Structure 1
Amino acid sequence: MADIPQNHPRYESLVTRDLIVDGVKNGITAIHGLTAHGRGEAFDYLIGEKTIEMAVCAQRAAVAMLLLAKKPVISVNGNTAALVPEGIIKLADFTQSEIEVNLFHRTETRVHRIVNHLKSKGAHDVLGQYGDAKIDLSHGRGIVDKNGIFSADVVLVPLEDGDRCQTLVGMDKKVISIDLNPLSRTSNSSTISIIDNVLRAIPNMIEFAKVMKSNNNHSLQDVIDSYNNREALSSAIYEIGENLKSHAIENNIPWNHFK
């Protein structure tokens, strides 16, 4: 990782970028993941680089859904493995979820490296190496584990993955996504759309899971029933607009010009 001065105004952002770059160097993250991360970072900037209130509601509902699931699975791609490996492992432990490596740019070497990377961080069982089942996708994400994503009732998909979300929902699975773009197919296809940075969302979900794992099924279902995904998406879009307005005013740019 590059030697980034901690007083740099974009320190956290630059450190995050370096984690993705290191993931590419180590054969964990596809080079295309750099573009995906940049798109997400742009939306994070638009939303104010903070976790908005409705994202917290979505995270809480997502944890409730994982805890109520009969067979929850957390899907991991290269970016997720590079950014939040320990967090994924902790969340899987608290929610009794399986972890499965699932990649668009799939090679057996990359899958093996990600599995080993997760195990080096403390994971015990990681699915995805054998690819013994298929879902209706014409690329690498269509290769899944029959004891994982294929048979799951709830799938957590960190980071953008529109066509797979649509396919999984079409298979009557509940899909939880973490995607900073409230306009994406991923966000608009998911059962619960968490519009937040994965670096903030996963730690928040872990804290919710610590508390909620002792809740009874009725109270968990109440959390899910009180959540409205369309409202969550609308709130994120509104927040982007308000943040843009605030920046315009702060920099003496006439906001009325944009109306």
Structure 2
Amino acid sequence: MTEIPDDHPRAESLRTRHRIEDGVELGITSKQGLIAQGRGEAYDYLLGEETIPSADAAERAAAARLLLADHPVLSVNGNVAALVPGEMVELAEAVDADLEVNLFNRTAERMEAIADHLRDHGAEDVKGLAADARIPGLDHERAKVDEDGIRSADVVVVPLEDGDRAEALAEMGKTEIVVDLNPMSRSAQTAAIPVIDNIVRAVPNMTKHARELRERGASREELEAIVAEFDREEALEAAEKAIRRGELD
């Protein structure tokens, strides 16, 4: 990778692109993931490449909801594995969640490569390889899930998600936390808690909030209040307004 100086105005964005490129070379990210990354980067550019206040509120509500869950699961696809593997492991540890690999372009080789990549970043148990259950209503490979993972989860974090699976999970009655830079996507519109932020900021921020809530011993009542106070419609509207204004320094 070409060395990127810290004072380059697009330094972080360029580094993120290289992570996706590396993911393709490692066999964990599909070539379509390059296109998806570019689309998300355009939205992030209009958001000012920062976590806006409504996104931070969503990340705090997401952390509270995960701490309240009986069986939370964090879904991981190729781009997620390339961009935030260690950060996903840290979030899973902070909220006592399972990690499960789920892919549209699924092959045994990619599944194993992503699971190994997560283990290299500290994961002890990675689900998704058994694929002994299905999500009803889907005819493609993302329908394949683990019975003791996403199929039995009550709360699922679905970052960089396909809209049809987000809708199918909602139909199953699962609480979805979606990380998506497009507030108008089906995934964001379906989510109980839509986090409109770049995943490289969103996941560490959710972990930070979760740790803060746990360390000070937040009660169940307080966690429930944080979730109840979050207004998903206001969050989506705030993000859309920020993108449409596109006020850049």
For residue 127 of structure 1, report the CA deviation from its aligned partner: 0.3
In the alignment, what sits opposite 1:82?
82
Higher relative contact order (CA 8 A, sep 6+): 2
Deviation at 1:79, TM superposition (A): 0.5
2:163 aligned with 1:162, yes or no?
A: yes
Q: TM-score, normalised by structure 2?
A: 0.96
Match of 1:241 in 2: 244
> Are 1:228 and 2:231 an aligned pair?
yes
Q: Give the secondary structure class of the aligned counterpart of 1:212.
A: helix
Once the two structures are TM-superposed, the CA of residue 3 in structure 1 deviates from its matched residue by 2.7
Deviation at 1:58, TM superposition (A): 0.4
1:123-165 C-alpha deviation (Å, 9 max, x unpaired): 0000011111011211111000000000000000111321111
| Residue of structure 2 in register with 1:203 after alignment | 204
Within 1, Cα distance between the matches of 2:205 and 2:70?
22
Query: What are the residue-to-residue correspondences of 1:1-259 with 2, within 5 Å?
Result: 1-136=1-136, 137-213=138-214, 214-243=217-246, 246-247=247-248
TM-score normalized by the length of structure 1: 0.93
Deviation at 1:10, TM superposition (A): 1.1
Alignment gaps of 5+ in structure 2: none
| Cα displacement (A) at 1:238 | 1.2
| Alpha carbons 1:65, 1:224 under 8 Å: kept | yes
Equivalent-residue separation in structure 2 for 1:6 and 1:238 (angstroms): 30
Structure 2 distance, partners of 1:241, 1:109, is 41
Question: Which SS does the other structure have where 1:25 is aligned?
Answer: helix
1:51-104 superposed Cα distances (whole Å, 9 cap, x missing partner) = 110001100111111000000000000100111111100110010000000001
Aligned length: 246
Q: Distance in 1 between matches of 2:102 and 2:244?
A: 34
CA RMSD of aligned residues (A): 1.1
Secondary structure at the counterpart of residue 126 of structure 2? coil
Q: Is the 8 A contact 1:40 1:180 kept in 2?
A: yes
Give percent identity, aligned residues only: 50
Q: CA deviation at 1:8?
A: 2.5
Instruction: Report the structure number with the largest CA radius of gyration.
Output: 1
Cα distance in 2 for residues equivalent to 1:230 and 1:202? 21
1:185-210 per-residue CA deviation (whole Å, 9 max, x = no partner) reads: 01001111000000011111111011
